[in-house]
């Protein structure tokens, strides 16, 4: 559970880089940020995990790791929704499994990058089609997400 707590804490730290999508990104003066939890892992490790090739991992540990990653992704996107202006839901109809597939695709192409970099790019890609207001509240903005 220590990993789960670190992953949860990482959400806010990593997420801050997307907080100003339309403005400057929130990072240090050198354009860097510190990622915790799943986001700090290398893409090469993520690919090993997805192929179930991590040394000494049992099936139960893979199940636990899958839930940790699922919750880390969901938490990151929830934080995006909370911190990014004019955003109700950045994910829309994209599922957690589809998000994880995108992370894996990015990581296969960029094994020397960090998982955090993949989720930031995915959030940026999804941002242009985000749902801007709660659709249950009605109104023109709810009917025209992303505009």
Instruction: Please write the tens of the pLDDT for every residue from 72-86.
Output: 999 999 999 999 999
Q: What are the sequence ranges of the domains in the chain?
A: 2-143
Instruction: Please write the tens of the pLDDT for every residue from 8-17.
Output: 444 434 443 3
Average pLDDT over residues 45-53: 93
Number of other residues whose CB lies within 10 A of the CB of residue 114: 20
Q: What is the DSSP string of 16-61?
A: GGGTTTTS--SS-TTS-----GGGGSBHHHHHHHHTT--TT--HHH
Q: How confident is the model at residue 37 (pLDDT cuts 50, 70, 90)?
A: confident
Q: Which residues contact 7 (CB under 8 A, 6 or more apart)?
A: 36, 37, 38, 39, 68, 69, 71, 72, 75
Q: How confident is the model at residue 54 (pLDDT cuts 50, 70, 90)?
A: confident
Residue 28 pLDDT: 82
């Amino acid at each position: 559970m220590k990993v789960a707590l670190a992953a949860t804490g990482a959400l806010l730290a990593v997420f801050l880089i997307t907080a100003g999508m339309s403005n400057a990104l929130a990072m240090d003066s050198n354009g860097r940020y510190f990622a915790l939890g799943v986001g700090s892992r290398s893409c090469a490790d993520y690919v090993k995990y997805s192929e179930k090739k991590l040394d000494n991992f049992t099936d139960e540990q893979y199940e636990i790791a899958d839930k940790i990653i699922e919750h880390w992704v969901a938490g990151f996107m929830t934080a995006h929704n909370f911190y990014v202006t004019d955003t109700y839901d950045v994910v829309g109809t994209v599922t957690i499994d589809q998000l994880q597939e995108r992370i894996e695709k990015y990581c296969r192409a960029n094994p020397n990058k960090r998982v955090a970099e993949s989720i930031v790019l995915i959030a940026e890609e999804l941002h242009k089609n985000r749902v801007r207001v709660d659709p249950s509240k009605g109104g023109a903005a709810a009917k025209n997400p992303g505009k």
